[in-house]
């Protein structure tokens, strides 16, 4: 009897302990752990249904709120998904489009994509296994309304590069130029706008307040030069196409009564000037540290592109013992430390801040230039 643990499909059946020889008991439990880990990934990534997948497929599969949004934006008669993977995005395209051509070079992945489309009860997808840029594949695809590509990329890179995607964006544009002028490419969201030199819309997308995707829209799909999208919602903020008028932004050294965290899609798309024009006068930028660019004001403001709002409680030198005494007097019981500190020292500092606190209130501590700003989250 052979037990194969790394099957590309999440099977529901695991051999029982009684059916295995003692020599396979350890492998059985390794297999259970592997499968359970994969199932847990699907839950964390908010898939609408538990997909058939291999480990890498789950890692890169598109969360369903993102897939559903894209499909609605790209709704058309015919669409080619030229790097469909396990079909996590394909099933949503098929819900909105009359016909979808799903191309994948990996035979195992395209079989999983078939299974996932059947799981969703879809029969309007034509699957093509092969290199999306090969003549053989190109001959099988007619003129379409839209071409979508989620190129392969390294899981991690020291510095993301738009030209490290496979297939390369220029190669896809050239190969499919006779079939459509409307293209969408998924790119690493860590890429800043100044490192993407294409005539397209750069849509930075956040999901549940975390940066999640970057999509590049070409042709008639382009609605502006840069945009920030927040899901669920959707809430969208657009930059201007062409020349962007300079909008004065006041950068202050001391925060006002309120601090705000902008949605990360706004920050990454470099649309803070546009956001600030929609807020009340008196809103300024406060650069908390190298990781946190915040807004501040003396009067409370509200906007759907503000991720979190905080009320300033007090400020003090970043001396844990002094801050701890003040927190005790004010009835706090917990401190969330959001400051640039040595990771190895994080819990030591937090324990010192929370020493003997017995209150019910929760404080959030930011820091800038050795000054601690103690806040409460109010939204």
Residue with tokens 């499919």: 176
Quote the pLDDT of residue 113: 95
Burial of 182 (0-12, 13-18, 19+ CB in 10 A): buried
Tell me whether the omega of the peptide bond preceding residue 232 falls within 30 degrees of 0, making it cis. Answer: yes
pLDDT, one tens digit per residue, over 143-177 is 999 999 999 776 666 677 788 888 899 999 999 99
| 6, pLDDT greater than 90 | no
Average pLDDT score over residue span 56-71: 84
Average pLDDT score over residue span 188-201: 95
Give, to the nearest 10 degrees, the angle between helix 320-329 and helix 346-353: 40
- List the chain domain ranges: 1-44, 57-238, 258-377
Contact yes or no for 372/323 (Cβ under 8 A): yes
Quote the pLDDT of residue 249: 65
| 15, pLDDT greater than 90 | no
For the whole model, what pTM was predicted? 0.82
Give the SS3 label for residue 100: strand
| 330, pLDDT greater than 70 | yes
Angle at 71 between CA 70 and CA 76, to 5 degrees: 125
Quote the pLDDT of residue 143: 98
pLDDT, one tens digit per residue, over 39-49 is 333 444 456 77
Q: Could you give the CA distance from residue 330 to residue 376 in angstroms, rounded to a whole number?
A: 12
pLDDT, one tens digit per residue, over 212-264 is 999 999 999 999 999 999 999 899 999 865 444 455 566 788 999 999 999 99
Topology of domain 57-238, per CATH?
Rossmann fold (3.40.50)
How confident is the prediction for the chain on average, in pLDDT? 85
Angle at 352 between CA 348 and CA 357, to 5 degrees: 135
How, if at all, do strands 258-262 and 306-317 pair? antiparallel
Q: Could you give the CA distance from residue 177 to residue 183 in angstroms, rounded to a whole number?
A: 10
**What is the arrangement of strands in the sheet containing 293-297, beginning at the earlier edge strand?**
284-287, 293-297, 258-262, 306-317, 371-377, 361-368, 332-337
Angle at 32 between CA 31 and CA 35, to 5 degrees: 85
| 25, pLDDT greater than 60 | no
């Amino acid at each position: 009897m052979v037990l194969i643990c790394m099957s590309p499909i999440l099977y529901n059946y695991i051999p029982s302990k009684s059916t295995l020889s003692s020599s396979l008991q350890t492998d059985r439990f390794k297999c259970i752990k592997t499968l359970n880990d994969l199932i847990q990934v699907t839950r964390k990534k908010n898939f609408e249904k538990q997909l058939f997948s291999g480990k890498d497929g789950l890692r890169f599969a598109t969360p369903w709120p993102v897939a559903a949004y894209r499909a609605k934006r790209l709704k058309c008669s015919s669409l080619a998904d030229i790097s469909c993977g396990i079909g996590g995005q394909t099933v949503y395209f098929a819900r909105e489009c009359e016909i979808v051509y799903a191309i994948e070079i990996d035979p195992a992945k395209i079989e999983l994509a078939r299974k996932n489309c059947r799981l969703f009860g879809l029969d309007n997808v034509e699957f093509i296994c092969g290199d999306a840029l090969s003549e053989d594949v190109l001959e099988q695809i007619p003129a379409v309304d839209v071409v979508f590509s989620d190129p392969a990329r390294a899981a991690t890179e020291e510095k993301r590069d738009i030209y490290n995607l496979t297939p390369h964006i220029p190669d896809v544009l050239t190969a499919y130029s006779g079939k459509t002028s409307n293209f969408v490419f998924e790119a690493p969201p860590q890429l800043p706008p100044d490192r993407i030199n294409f005539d397209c819309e750069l849509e930075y997308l956040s999901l549940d307040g975390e940066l999640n995707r970057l999509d590049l829209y070409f042709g008639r799909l382009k609605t502006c030069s840069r945009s920030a999208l927040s899901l669920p919602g959707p809430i969208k903020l657009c930059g201007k196409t062409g020349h962007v008028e300079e909008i004065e932004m006041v950068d202050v050294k001391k925060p006002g009564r309120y601090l705000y965290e902008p949605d990360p899609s706004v920050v990454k798309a470099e649309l803070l000037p546009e956001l600030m024009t929609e807020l009340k006068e008196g809103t300024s930028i406060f650069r908390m540290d190298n990781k946190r660019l915040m807004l501040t004001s003396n009067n409370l403001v509200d906007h759907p592109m503000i991720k979190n709002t905080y009320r300033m409680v007090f400020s003090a030198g970043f001396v844990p013992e002094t801050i701890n005494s003040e927190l005790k007097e004010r009835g706090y019981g917990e401190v969330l430390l959001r400051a640039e500190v040595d990771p190895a020292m994080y819990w030591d500092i937090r324990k010192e801040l929370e020493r003997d606190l017995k209150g019910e209130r929760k404080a959030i501590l930011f820091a800038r230039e050795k000054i601690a700003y103690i806040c409460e989250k109010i939204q």
